Amino acid sequence: MSKKILVTGGAGFLGSHLCDRLLAQGHHVICVDNFFSGAQRNLAHLAKEPRFTLLRHDVVLPFAAEVDEIYNLAAPASPVHYQFNPIETTKTCVIGAINMLDLALQRNIKVLQASTSEVYGDPEQHPQPESYWGRVNPIGLRACYDEGKRCAEALFFDYHRQHQVPIKVARIFNTYGPRMLPDDGRVVPNLILQALKGEDITLYGDGLQTRSFCYVDDLIEGLVQLMASGSDIIGPINLGNPDEVTIRQLAGLIIDITGSNSKFTHEPLPTDDPRQRQPDIAQARQQLDWAPTVPLREGLIKTVAYFEKHLAGTFVAHSG
Ligand code: NAD
Ligand code: UDP
**Rounded distance from Cα 263 to ligand 1 centre (Å):** 31
Is the beta carbon of 174 within 6 A of some atom in ligand 2?
Answer: yes
Protein residue with least CA distance to atom 25, ligand 2: 79
pLDDT in the model for residue 319: 33
Whether residue 209 has its Cβ less than 6 Å from ligand 2: yes
Kindly report the protein residue whose alpha carbon is nearest to atom 4 of ligand 1: 12
Please pick, among 71, 82, 120, 145, the residue that the annotation labels catalytic.
145
**Which residues, in sequence order, are CB contacts of 60 under 8 Å at separation 6+?**
88, 91, 92, 95, 96, 99
Residue 315, pLDDT score: 44
Q: What single letter denotes the amino acid at residue 101?
A: L
Distance 260 CA to ligand 1 centre (A): 30
State how far the alpha carbon of 284 is from the alpha carbons of 16, 39, 130, 223, in Å: 23, 31, 10, 10
CA of 319 to the centre of ligand 1 (A): 14
Spans of the chain below 70 pLDDT: 314-320
Phi, psi of 165 (to 5 degrees): -65, 130
Measured CA to CA, the distance from residue 306 to residue 134 in angstroms comes to 35
Residue range 4-176+214-241+276-293, CATH number = 3.40.50.720
Distance CA 194, CA 202 (A): 8
Cβ–ligand 1 distance for 239 under 6 Å, the answer no
pLDDT tens, residue by residue, 202-224: 999 999 999 999 999 999 999 99
Does ligand 1 lie within 6 Å of residue 77's CB atom? yes
Q: Where are the domains of the chain?
A: 4-176+214-241+276-293
Cα(93) to centroid(ligand 1), Å: 10
The DSSP secondary-structure symbol of 126 reads S
Buried b (16+ CB within 10 A) or exposed e, 187-214: bbbbbbbbbbeeeebbbeeebebbbbbb
Predicted pLDDT of residue 314: 47
Pairing mode, strands 210-212 and 201-204: unpaired
**Which residue(s) pair with 169 in the sheet?**
113
Q: How far apart are alpha carbons 317 and 223 in whole angstroms?
A: 25
Which residue's C-alpha comes closest to atom 17 of ligand 1? 58
How far is ligand 1, taken at its centre, from the CA of residue 76, in Å? 4
Q: Could you tell me how many residues make up the chain?
A: 320
Check if 159 is active-site: no
Using CA atoms, how far apart are residues 175 and 14, in angstroms rounded to an integer?
Answer: 8
Instruction: Give the residues across from 71 on adjacent strands.
Output: 7, 112
Atom 21 (ligand 2): residue with closest C-alpha? Answer: 186
pLDDT at 313: 73
